[in-house]
Amino acid sequence: MFKLIGKLIKYTIYGSISVVVLLLGIIAMIPEDERVTSANIPTKEVVEVVEEEVVEEVKKDLIVFPWADELEEKKAKREEEKRIAEQKKIEEELAKEKLLAEQKAEEKRKGFHCLSSWDGSHRAVANWTKKQLREPKSFKHINTLVWPVDTQGNHQLVMQYKAKNGFGGMTSGVVKAFYSNSDCGATIKSID
């Protein structure tokens, strides 16, 4: 094991010496005037002057294309059109949201929010009517008429229905009620 460590140290030293000799050879090949010394390091002012001269030379070498201004104008026009299209899209979405809000408010004013979306009946009134019948399973809703909300916050309602009578035949009936716009609670006035 000591032999291995000795060889490792030996080759490490040989490798280090080889690298140093190689670097010295490269430095010797560089001409004397190109070597960096403290005497030929440019100062900040010199660097700024040289940079300005380089920029001026680059500006002189640039080829100005006659259509460069057109390209810039077209790019600016496309960006403006894109911005206008995005603004229009946002305005359309806001208009749709406003329209939906107005429609919901109108439906609430008309009292439709309390009616079934399936058959247009008021569930509480229909259920109460079924309980009053001899054969609740024979109940069939025909239609429901609703008036807009009044000053007390209530809607008037008239529901037409069909059901079997005591003799087994189908008869039609009418239920009159009113219900609250806020909580949809119904109060029955009459059943015919």
Q: Could you list the pLDDT tens digit for every one of the 192 residues in the chain? A: 777 777 777 778 877 887 777 777 777 777 766 655 555 555 555 555 556 666 666 555 555 566 667 788 888 899 999 999 999 999 999 999 999 999 888 888 888 888 888 888 999 999 999 999 989 999 999 999 999 888 898 999 999 999 998 888 899 999 999 999 888 899 999 888
User: Contact 169/175 with Cβ under 8 angstroms?
Assistant: no
Tell which residue, 53, 29, 31, 28, has the closest CA to residue 40. 31
User: Contact 155/133 with Cβ under 8 angstroms?
Assistant: no
pTM given for the model: 0.48
The residues pairing with 160 across neighbouring beta strands, listed in sequence order, are: 143, 174
**Token pair for residue 48?**
């700024």
Rounded-to-integer distance, Cα 161 and Cα 14, Å: 109
Tell which residue, 166, 172, 129, 122, has the closest CA to residue 147. 122
**Token pair for residue 68?**
């460069």
Measured CA angle at 163 (ends 146, 122), to 5 deg: 25
Question: Looking at residue 175, what is its pLDDT?
Answer: 96
Amino acid found at 48 = E
Q: What SS3 state is found at 120?
A: coil
Residue written as token pair 């809703």: 141
Question: Looking at residue 104, what is its pLDDT?
Answer: 86
Rounded-to-integer distance, Cα 58 and Cα 21, Å: 42
Question: Looking at residue 109, what is its pLDDT?
Answer: 80
Residue 185: its H or E element? none
Question: Looking at residue 98, what is its pLDDT?
Answer: 94
Tell which residue, 164, 160, 185, 184, has the closest CA to residue 173. 160
